[in-house]
Amino acid sequence: MRDFLRRLSRHRKAAVGGSLLVFFLLMAVVGPFFVMDPTDLVGRPHQPPNAAHWFGTTGQGQDVLAQTVVGARETLAIGFAVGALVTLVGALVGVTAGYLGRRVDDVLSLTTNVFLVIPGMPLAIVLGAYLPSGPLRMVAVLTVAGWAWNARVFRAESLALRGRDFVSAAVVTGESHSRIVSRELLPNMASLLGSSFIGNTLYAVGAQVGLEFLGLGDVSVVTWGTNLYWAGNDAALLTRSWWIFVPTGMCIALVGFALTLLSSAIDELTNPALRVHKPAALPVATVPRAHLERPVPGVLLRVQDLCIDYATEKGASRVVDSVSFDVAPGEVFGLAGESGSGKSTIGSALLGLLPASARVTQGRILFNGMDVTALEGPALRAFRWRQVSMVFQSAMSALNPVLTLGEQFHDTLAAHGRVSRGTSYARARELLGMVGLSPDLVTAWPHQLSGGMRQRVGIALALALEPRLVIMDEPTTALDVVVQKELLQRMVELKQRLGFAMLFITHDLPLLLALSDRVGVLQGGKLVEVDTSANLRAGARHPYTQLLLSSFPHLSAKDAAPQAVQTPELSVSRPSTRIAAIPGGHR
């Protein structure tokens, strides 16, 4: 938490927003001691700004500067009080409903939905008209009208967290429900609590001013809302007395601007994908920009001295360092390495999918002579999926949960040319049959399929436009060993039938040795060794490759028994353990 506050204080948006907010808080707390009584009649009505009254006078002859300064005190006090209460009530209701579930969730969710159906401002107007006058009325009205949306947000977050291991551990150790909510769940929502509080404070200030402008506040008390109320009654617009309402309006706008900046800063600091990095941290001058060269015979993909850097708060961090390798047409090339070695980053760079914080700073990726790193816009879109496609690691995340399989095939095909929905569905049935699924699943939803079936759909989508290279990025990580074997056998069959090449990315070295023609081993972003599967198994040269091989008892560097590794027959764990193919089985 201390580190987060330190980074927040150094954030540009947070610095500007925080400075503005501190200024208005000081004005609200200290300012009233330095101005005259805002209710005193001190001059002629409708006086423009002058030496005696810097902001002019109201239609009653009161000092506008005094009213603006004094009005900040109650407006901000109510705004922060409502922001805190709305966040607290919404968080407690939402987290309790999401964590306890069942009947408690049914009751609290029904209550939340009822409040969400009722428009907030009309509800506040009705409550404000009947409750006794005073600041507590405004706090109660705005809290009742605003808590429901926050409860919905916190319920969703609680549903995502309650299945995590640390919550299960707390349940097993005997912690009470209240302690789990307060000590396990809510602390993991700190950033959501912070941004919700700021957003709710912004809502409270705006809603309070709106209600008071309609005359539903205590008009005898000086606030920013009642200032606007009296400005309307005094016909400030008709008399062109702009100075009566402009200072108050500017203060409201600046407070809203400050709160918005703070909320944006919290989002950026808690979500790495939203962080903005200085472009100067990643030099790009060394990247060649030639678009097309003469293709090299026998080479489909050529990676030359590829360097990829990520921008961090401490500067550039190199994750891929001078990597070079070739992939021939129809070849299966494997990239192996531990997590963080840069293997998936290389696959993303090939399709132009690097995040905003990453950049190719040196080298080229040549596909059939075309420099992929130079492609942009329509050219990059035309290259993707037609020339190179990808099977992603998480099949459930890769498939859109709100579209049927047929619609997802149609979206893919329609993105690369005008095609009717009927033609797309016909192609989808053909592709589903190719990967061993029933063509009737074209009308199914992703959640109706098992993990293995969803991964088969991912393979079918990758083959929809008959690409020349398919990138397999950890495609079997979440699947059991039997389903892995079945999927990979199917992929080998399709490769032999359609003639595409594969770039297979995984940390599973035994799997690569069983499947690939050649394997490249990555360590810390460097390609330390490239050789055929048989040569690596018989005698790996690099110590890191030898270490990886020795991590598997049946795959030591001295093990020269390649007959246990056949394609498409794949060994699962030990040479003596073999699982026969399951033709047409669905997982």
Instruction: Tell me the three-class secondary structure of 39-103, residue by residue.
Output: CCCCCCCCCCCCCCCCCCECCCCCEHHHHHHHHHHHHHHHHHHHHHHHHHHHHHHHHHHHHHCHH
Mean pLDDT of 355-374: 88
Per-residue pLDDT band for 411 (boundaries 50, 70, 90) equals confident
φ, ψ of residue 296 in degrees (nearest 5): -85, 125
Class of domain 29-261: mainly alpha
Pairing of strands 301-312, 358-367: antiparallel
* pLDDT reported for residue 270: 66
> d(Cα 63, Cα 73) in Å, to the nearest integer?
17
**Are 460 and 444 spatial neighbours (Cβ–Cβ below 8 Å)?**
no
Residues 502 and 388: their CA atoms lie apart, in Å, by 10
Please tell me the distance from the alpha carbon of residue 487 to that of residue 532, in angstroms, as a whole number. Answer: 23
3-state secondary structure 168-232: HHHHHCCCCHHHHHHHHHHHHHHHHHHHHHHHHHHHHHHHHHHHHHCCCCCCCCCCHHHHHHHHH
8 A C-beta contact, residue 305 and residue 322: yes
Are residues 454 and 474 in contact, defined by beta-carbon separation less than 8 angstroms?
no
pLDDT of residue 377 exceeding 80, the answer is yes
- Per-residue pLDDT of 134-192, as tens digits, reads 778 889 888 988 899 889 999 988 888 887 777 877 777 778 888 888 888 888 888 88
The C-alpha atoms of residue 124 and residue 115 are separated, in whole angstroms, by 12
Burial of 83 (0-12, 13-18, 19+ CB in 10 A): buried
65-69, 101-105, 556-560: which has the minimum mean pLDDT? 556-560
Residue with tokens 């390649």: 562
- Please tell me the distance from the alpha carbon of residue 22 to that of residue 24, in angstroms, as a whole number: 5
Residue 19 pLDDT > 60: yes
Confidence of residue 295 (pLDDT cuts 50, 70, 90): low
Q: What pLDDT is attached to residue 87?
A: 94
Sorted by where each begins, the domain ranges of the chain are 29-261, 301-387+467-564
Q: What is the pLDDT of residues 551-565, one digit of tens each?
A: 765 544 444 333 443
pLDDT, tens digit (0-9, with 9 covering 90-100), for 111-142: 998 888 887 777 777 777 777 777 788 898 88
pLDDT band at 320 (very low <50, low <70, confident <90, very high): very high
Fold match between domain 29-261 and domain 301-387+467-564: no
Tell me which of 2.170.8.10, 3.40.50.300, 3.40.1350.10, 3.10.580.10 is the CATH number of domain 301-387+467-564: 3.40.50.300
Tell me what pLDDT residue 324 has.
93
The model's pLDDT over 242-284, given as tens digits with 9 standing for 90+, comes to: 999 999 999 999 999 999 988 888 777 665 544 544 443 444 4
The residues that bridge with 306 in the sheet, in sequence order, are 323
Tell me the three state secondary structure of residue 520.
strand
Over residues 27-41, mean pLDDT: 91
Kindly state the average pLDDT of the residues 201-228: 89
User: 45-74 in b/e burial notation, b at 16+ Cβ within 10 A?
Assistant: bbbeeeeebebbbbbeebbbbbbbbbbbbb
Rounded CA separation 358/349 (Å): 9
For residues 44-69, average pLDDT:
91
